[in-house]
């Protein structure tokens, strides 16, 4: 489980996800690993970071300061943000990318992250 703090009133949680033994998980870390790892690996190219670093950076930035948010239907929320990826060795900007995060309202003050992935436009 990975926790991303947004505001004092809101907390986003990335659980392992599942279904646990599925070859096609539908939510959580397992889904991001299975379905979007390649997307984040391409984003990480030239940054001297791995895909997980970039995914964590994106989810943390979305939790703290989303550019856009709204209802995604079926009890899901959509939040998105333009993130800036820099080369860790040179400090040069490598690329900018909009990342979408879908979450499901779980309880009074927390949201369960369903997925996160790069996209060409905001929520």
Domain locations in the chain as residue ranges: 2-119
**Rounded CA gap, 96 and 75, in Å?**
29
Q: What is the DSSP letter of 18?
A: B
More confident residue, 107 or 99: 99
Phi, psi dihedral angles at 36 (to 5 degrees): -125, 5
Picking from 82, 98, 104, the residue whose alpha carbon sits closest to that of residue 12 is 104
**Rounded CA gap, 79 and 122, in Å?**
8
Element (H, E) at 37: helix 37-44
Do the Cβ atoms of 47 and 87 come closer than 8 Å? yes
Question: pTM of the prediction?
Answer: 0.87
Residue 44 has pLDDT above 60, yes or no: yes
If you average pLDDT over residues 90-118, what whole number do you get? 87
């Amino acid at each position: 489980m990975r926790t991303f703090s947004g505001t004092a009133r809101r907390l986003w949680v990335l659980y392992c996800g599942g279904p646990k033994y599925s070859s096609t998980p539908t939510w959580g870390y397992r889904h991001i690993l299975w379905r979007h790892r390649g997307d984040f690996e391409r984003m990480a190219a030239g940054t001297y970071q791995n895909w997980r670093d970039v995914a964590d950076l994106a989810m943390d930035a979305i939790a703290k300061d989303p550019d856009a948010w709204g209802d995604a239907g079926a009890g899901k929320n959509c939040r998105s943000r333009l993130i800036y990826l820099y080369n860790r060795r040179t400090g040069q900007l490598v690329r900018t990318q909009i990342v979408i995060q879908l979450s499901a309202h779980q309880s009074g003050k927390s949201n369960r992250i369903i997925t996160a992935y790069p996209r060409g436009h905001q929520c």
